[in-house]
A and B are shown apart, each in its own frame.
Chain A
Amino acid sequence: MNQSQSEEIKAIRHKRWVKSTHFIITLSFLALTVSGFVILMAHPRLYWGKAGNDLTPALFELPISRNYHHGGWEQTTPFKHLTSSQVSAVRTYDIFNENGWGRSTHFLAAWFLIATGLIYFIVGFFSGHFRNNLAPRAREFSLKLLWRDFVSHFRPQTRPADTQYGLLQKITYLWVIFFLFPVVILTGFTMSPAITASYPFLLKIFFGHQSARTIHFFAAVLLLLFLVLHIVMVIRTGFKRNIIAITFGSNHEKK
């Protein structure tokens, strides 16, 4: 066994369906991030509860467009038969709004993400991919191993990626696949008037329309954080070989 052969064995060999779903999901996630940011720019205020708007208190506001604290409102007028806390006011400010293409891009990319994600789930489950490659082994569950794995991520020279995923890596992937993605998709559904008419339980489990929007935002932020960490680890463990492995790398599905 010569040098090059032994190196090749060390690199993870991804199955063809893993590579193609990874590729489509990466592209749709990038399109969703860009369009999602553009959509957020139109109304960079986040709320908690059933409803929220410029005339109700926000959780926080993000300085990401000229709409931030724009303050362009006519005087408020109360509704005659309600308490004075519910008011109406006319907006006088010409807001930034590119939601025409922003929303359509977001939903088109979401179609690709959901369709590909479903295929990934089904194949991953029945092929044993989740069971064999992602589920941590019983012997891996020890604080000592977890600590050792954690510390190893901060060494100046990280060991090249093994043929097996590490414990932290497995936990992170499982969290992203089985928690963050489902949450971001379901909270997205919860913002749809037509979907929530048929499935009102969505509004219950996410505490209302605006809470769902806020959870959608934080789930997206966590997914982006994962993306950054993922790229950092890809670079630190041998960028070139990892990229080849997830794209055109040789496929040894036959034994």
Chain B
Amino acid sequence: MKKNKPMTRRQAIFAGLTSAGALLLSGCLKKAPPTYGNILRMGDDLTYTAQRGLLSQRALAMEYQKSDITSFPVTDIGDPADPKSKAVYSQEYHELQANNFKDWALTVEGSVAKPAKYSMDALKKLGERTQITRHTCEEGWSAIAEWTGVPLGAVLKDAGILPAARFVYFYGYDKYTESIDMLDAFHPQTILAHTMNGEDLPARHGAPVRLRVETQIGYKNIKYLQRIVVTEKFIEPDADISTGWSWYTGI
């Protein structure tokens, strides 16, 4: 299994300390989390470093029984298939949905040897994992559901992820963006979910495919997936840091 490890714990500690040290020295060293300067972001970075250094990176988030499944609210920024939700609306997504997502394909590009577009069938051939897990929203609520999907690690390996790759960026049709590091990307429970509670992912839960990152807070689980970009550098995502939200949310 060691070969599959994208980053050892020692590397994680070292990388974290280096970036924290660089932040303290220069105040604004670019392109490694955090790229941001204020004191709150330094606290977020300390949390990131500590959790990467002190916690087991392969430990699984608690998995529940079928009887634990709860109701599940939809609290996202809007429906990308609805022209009334102006900023979030995507005509392309609208058309894909009208055709029941038969023409949908996930783009995987960036630091990969074989950039490709994966149809749903092609994705499903790469593997499958079913897990009953808890979605923990930053607002304070939580919900339990059963998710089935393709392990993200399998997709990245199939695309031929390059050794220098450090982050994975996700772009949704609702114009939302998220990114995670390689430790979370290759976590066994990090999946591209296409099925929720035994049915095709319902429209407002992110159809046709959404991300599940079980070791982070809810807003990392981007919906309506369109594109994945693997990068060697950290780019400030619009979705969180610039609007005041912590990039790493393992807490």
Name A's B-contacting residues (CB within 8 A).
Answer: 39-40, 42-43, 45, 50-56, 73, 76-77, 79-82, 85-91, 95, 97, 99-101, 103-105, 107-108, 111, 191-198, 200, 203, 209-210, 213
User: Are A88 and B214 in touch, CB under 8 angstroms?
Assistant: no
Q: Tell me which of B51, B55, B62, B199 contacts A81 (CB under 8 A).
A: B199
Q: What residue in chain A is nearest B214 (Cβ atoms)?
A: A193
Q: Is B46 an interface residue (CB 8 A)?
A: yes
User: Are A42 and B140 in touch, CB under 8 angstroms?
Assistant: yes
Q: Which residues of B contact A213 (CB under 8 A)?
A: 140
**Which of B43, B73, B140, B216: most chain A CB closer than 10 A?**
B140
Main secondary structure of the interface of B (DSSP, over half): loop
Q: Tell me which of A45, A104, A111 contacts B141 (CB under 8 A).
A: A45
User: Are B199 and A79 in touch, CB under 8 angstroms?
Assistant: yes
Give Cα distance in the complex from A108 to B42, angstroms.
Answer: 8
User: Are B55 and A194 in touch, CB under 8 angstroms?
Assistant: yes
Within 8 A of A (CB), among B189-243: 196-199, 202, 204-205, 214-217, 243
Q: What residue in chain A is nearest B71 (Cβ atoms)?
A: A55
Q: How many A-B residue pairs have CB under 8 A?
A: 164
Q: Which residues of B contact A55 (CB under 8 A)?
A: 70-73, 143
Q: Tell me which of B44, B59, B73 contacts A197 (CB under 8 A).
A: B59
**Which of B39, B60, B61: most chain A CB closer than 10 A?**
B61
- B contacts with A, residue count (CB < 8 A): 52
Q: Which residues of B contact A100 (CB under 8 A)?
A: 243-246
Q: Is B56 an interface residue (CB 8 A)?
A: yes
Q: Which residues of B contact A104 (CB under 8 A)?
A: 40-41, 43-44, 244, 246
Q: Tell me which of A52, A54, A99 contacts B138 (CB under 8 A).
A: A99
User: Are A193 and B73 in touch, CB under 8 angstroms?
Assistant: no
Give Cα distance in the complex from A50 to B68, angstroms.
Answer: 8
Q: Is B250 an interface residue (CB 8 A)?
A: yes
User: Are B44 and A50 in touch, CB under 8 angstroms?
Assistant: no
